[in-house]
Chains A and B, each alone.
Chain A
Amino acid sequence: SSELTQDPAVSVALGQTVRITCQGDSLTTSYATWYQQKPGQAPILVIYGNNNRPSGIPDRFSGSISGSTASLTITGAQADDGADYFCHSRDTSGNRYVFGTGTKVTVL
């Protein structure tokens, strides 16, 4: 299967911790990548290689993997973290890149 499934929406209180999951068979053959997207803007890379943060991304963002499920955790969520988050990997055939269905994070 080449699908990546995410919960449609989650909410988190300001300063609390939220975990977003992404499930799919492709995550057993390819590392997970995570993007943050705000309305009307291009996605921004926040995690690659399951758990690596690009320079400039706050350390409250972290990633992990367990079997075919990848997770993105925001520890101490800030108001600015409210956005859509998409996971991404390469499918098991190696022929195409696939994105998750997306999770809308609301910071209360």
Chain B
Amino acid sequence: QLQLLESGPGLVKPSETLSLTCSVSGGSITSDYWSWIRQPPGKGLEWIGYVFFTGSTNYNPSLRSRVTMSVDTSKNQVSLRLNSVTAEDTAVYFCARLEEPGIRQYYFDPWGRGTLVTVSS
């Protein structure tokens, strides 16, 4: 059974870079799309972007200038970097596999349990 686990610093200072890793177990990251999604405390979900196992990416236009995603197939890991963070970037960050089971059908499954990142000095 595929399992995802996010890890990284829980506290980041304003203007610095948020860096998170998603470790995938129970399967290989090759041949799939891997997404990052975030949820500010008490609020809804926001898609950040995805990375394909080849390294190709697609980012949310609202975050594109600050986001970088990458894969390390040797470690079965996916990474997220978000530059120039502010308090508005405080959120629980989830990684999830993006599936397209049919034309115009999309879903995220499974999800990691998420990791809270707080931006504060």
Contact = CB atoms under 8 A, between A and B. Distances in A.
Interface residues of B, number: 23
A76 interface: no
Nearest to A101: B44
Nearest to A45: B109
Query: Among B35, B94, B98, B104, which residue has the most Cβ atoms of chain A within 10 A?
Result: B104
Contacts of B104: 29-31, 90
B113 A41 contact: yes
Given A42-B111, A43-B111, A99 B45 contact: yes
B6 to A, nearest CB: 10
Interface string B94-120: 100010011011111111111000000
Contacts of B58: 95-96
B107 A33 contact: yes
Interface size class of A (residues with CB under 8 A): 20 to 34
Given A49-B101, A96-B61, A42 B44 contact: no
Interface in A71-107: 86, 88-90, 95-102
A54 interface: yes
Interface string A34-56: 01000001111100110000100
28 contacts: A30-B105, A30-B106, A31-B102, A31-B104, A31-B105, A33-B105, A33-B107, A35-B108, A41-B113, A42-B113, A43-B45, A43-B94, A43-B108, A43-B111, A44-B111, A45-B107, A48-B105, A49-B101, A86-B45, A90-B106, A95-B58, A95-B61, A97-B47, A97-B98, A98-B47, A99-B46, A102-B44, A102-B45
Interface of A: 29-31, 33, 35, 41-45, 48-49, 54, 86, 88-90, 95-102
Given A49-B105, A90-B104, A97-B106, 20 more contacts: A30-B104, A30-B106, A31-B106, A33-B107, A33-B108, A42-B113, A43-B45, A43-B94, A43-B108, A43-B111, A45-B109, A48-B101, A54-B109, A86-B44, A86-B45, A88-B45, A89-B106, A95-B58, A97-B35, A101-B44
